[in-house]
Amino acid sequence: MTTQDTRSSQPAPAAETGCCGHCAPQDAQPGTTRRTVLGRGAAVAAVGAGSLVLSGCTDEIRAEDTAQDHYVGAARTPALAVSELPVGATTSVEVEGRTLLMHRVDESTVTAYSNVCTHQGCLLQVVDRPEGTAYACPCHGSHFDVETGKPFGGPARQPLMDYEAAIDGDQVVVKL
């Protein structure tokens, strides 16, 4: 028998080189293959790229020249009874899946605003302050005027999105 025949007739032990002599041993970390590592790396990269795209989108939405400040609705939808919103009162109302902040300025004027803060999208609350009622953001302290929707105090710079509201008979209606 030649030296060459001796090498080929004695296979390498499977525990040292794996089943075919080229891959990792059978007892190596199960599930940790090159494909797994590359797949997880691609997923992490995709999440990072998506975050960058979305952050640019939110910056554009917050930009003064592209932010929508008036909702152009089509149908006048009943929001609540006039008796539930006396002059000077402010309330939060759910109308067709939207939460609106409403204030009755006088006998014939009602304001309606989105309850989403223009700073970073937190949900606003109606608060009573010594200076008067306001819409307040619990996240970063922005406050909004109930009659104009304009921010005062806190980091928000854009007014709230307003909805066209009116009194129609015994109902307060909002264009949605």
Residue 54 belongs to what domain range? 14-62
Residues 38 and 55 in one domain: yes
Shared domain for 41 and 103, answered yes or no, is no
**Total of domains in the chain:** 2
What is the side-by-side order of every strand in the sheet holding 162-163?
Answer: 70-71, 162-163, 110-114, 98-104, 90-95
Question: Quick check: is 149 in a domain?
Answer: yes
Residues 107 and 170 in one domain: yes
- pLDDT of the residue at 146: 97
pLDDT band (50, 70, 90) for residue 6? very low
The answer to the question of residue 9 being in a domain is no
Look at residue 48 and tell me if it is in a domain: yes
pLDDT digits (tens, 9 = 90+) for 8-67: 455 545 445 555 555 555 555 556 777 766 677 666 666 665 555 454 445 544 445 555
Q: What is the pLDDT of residue 109?
A: 96
pTM: 0.60
The contacts of residue 136 (CB under 8 Å, 6+ apart) are 124, 125, 126, 127, 142, 143, 144
Q: What's 165's domain CATH number? A: 2.102.10.10
Residue linked to tokens 């109606």 = 126
- Same domain assignment for residues 122 and 162: yes
Reported as a single tens digit per residue, the pLDDT across 78-135 is 999 999 999 999 999 999 999 999 999 999 999 999 999 999 999 999 999 999 999 9
135 shares its domain with 151: yes
Are 49 and 86 members of one domain? Answer: no
For residue 73, what pLDDT is reported?
A: 65
SS3 90: strand
Helices (H) and strands (E) in the chain, counts: 3, 12
